[in-house]
């Protein structure tokens, strides 16, 4: 499997599997193939008895993940090909939750848009001091009305979750830590050493107990999966609209989007 990877690096060392999004030239934004490879690596970590903890991170020092690849979307109208012909981001979200081993997000830079959702879904988040967090969906003609919104509100509270989505601002690592969006902030040079320390503590604990604990935490918010299915069905329809296209065009042309013509449709 390893030789087939192009967008992801997968490594295992002393019980810790590290899944690295390896597209630094695109700020580790994901396309359909990236998502497919992440799914394969997480399943590999799930089935490997030598793995007790998983770390998700991004290559380089600039970005953890900048979300869906908007350049790809602008070029082809979608997120590119995959072996199944599907863009399985919804399944990736479910897999992160269902993986019966603790998953740590090591945020080494921008965690924006869909990348922000990925770190929120991880069990724990450790961030470098230079990390930045935020959502951009409404700015680029997209949204995540499932775990990306409803579960985020469980993490930071309703008012802050609504601010994150309704203003599309950027937040620094210290603010994210204060809001409970991350567990720990460390200097960038110490990020992976800190992940290793946390992983070693986790690896000293009962894996069966941890599996039950994770499933118990998930049970309270499992109904959000139903909202997610409805949301992604709606998103599939929305991304073909002129309103959504304006968001993508503005992003690729590096200009503010003009959504004024579409307010009437949202006022019905």
Which domain does 214 fall in, by range? 2-190+206-219
Q: Tens digits of per-residue pLDDT, 125-159?
A: 999 999 999 999 999 888 888 899 999 999 999 99
Residue 240 falls inside a structural domain: no
pLDDT at 49 over 60: yes
Residue 61 is part of a domain; what is its CATH number?
3.90.226.10
Domain contains 259: no
Count how many Cα atoms sit within 13 Å of the Cα of residue 238 in the half-sphere of its side chain.
Answer: 21
The candidate with the shortest Cα–Cα distance to 131, out of 169, 167, 182, is: 182
Give me the mean pLDDT over the 217-234 stretch.
91
> What does the DSSP assignment read for 79-93?
S---SSS---HHHHH
Residue 101, pLDDT score: 98
List pLDDT tens digits, range 180-222.
Answer: 999 999 999 999 999 999 999 999 999 999 999 999 999 999 9
Output the pLDDT for position 25. Answer: 96
Report if residue 79 sits inside a domain: yes
**What is the model's pLDDT at position 265?**
84
Question: Is residue 198, in this structure, part of any structural domain at all?
Answer: no
Q: Is residue 59 part of a domain?
A: yes
| pLDDT for residue 70 | 82
List, for residues 66-107, the tens digit of each pLDDT value: 999 988 877 887 888 899 999 999 999 999 999 999 999 999
Rounded mean pLDDT of the chain?
Answer: 94
Angle between helix 32-47 and 89-98 (nearest 10): 20
Domain total of the chain: 1
What letter would DSSP give residue 23? -
Indicate whether 29 belongs to any domain: yes
Task: Give pLDDT, residue 3.
Answer: 52
Residue-wise pLDDT for 158-182, tens only, equals 999 999 999 999 999 999 999 999 9
User: For residues 24 and 22, what is the distance between their CA atoms, to the nearest angstrom?
Assistant: 6
Residue 30: is it exposed, middle or buried by C-beta count within 10 angstroms (0-12/13-18/19+)? buried
DSSP secondary structure letters along 29-82: -B-HHHHHHHHHHHHHHHH-TT--EEEEEESTTTEEE-SB-HHHHHHHSSS---
Is residue 241 over pLDDT 70?
yes
């Amino acid at each position: 499997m390893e030789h087939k990877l192009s967008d992801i690096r997968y490594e295992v060392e002393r019980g810790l599997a590290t899944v690295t999004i390896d597209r630094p030239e695109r700020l580790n934004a994901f396309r359909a193939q990236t998502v497919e490879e992440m799914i394969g690596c997480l399943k590999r970590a799930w089935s490997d008895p030598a793995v007790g903890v998983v770390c998700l991170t991004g290559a380089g020092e600039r970005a953890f993940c900048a979300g869906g690849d908007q350049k790809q979307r602008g070029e082809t109208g979608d997120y590119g090909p995959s072996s199944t012909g599907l863009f399985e981001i919804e399944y990736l979200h479910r897999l992160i939750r269902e993986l019966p081993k603790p998953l740590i997000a090591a945020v080494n830079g921008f965690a924006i848009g869909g990348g922000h959702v990925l770190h929120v879904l991880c069990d724990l988040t450790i961030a470098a001091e230079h990390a930045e967090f935020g959502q951009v969906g409404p700015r680029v003609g997209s949204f995540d009305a499932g775990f990306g919104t409803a579960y985020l509100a469980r993490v930071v509270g309703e008012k802050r979750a609504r601010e994150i989505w309704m203003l599309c601002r950027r937040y620094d690592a210290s603010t994210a830590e204060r809001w409970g969006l991350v567990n720990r902030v460390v200097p960038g040079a110490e990020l992976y050493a800190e992940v290793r320390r946390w992983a070693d503590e986790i690896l000293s604990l009962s894996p069966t107990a941890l599996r039950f604990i994770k499933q118990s935490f998930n049970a309270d918010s499992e109904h959000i999966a139903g909202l997610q299915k409805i949301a992604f069905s709606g998103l599939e329809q929305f991304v073909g609209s002129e309103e959504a296209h304006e968001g993508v065009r503005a992003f690729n042309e590096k200009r503010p989007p003009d959504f004024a013509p579409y307010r009437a449709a949202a006022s019905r």
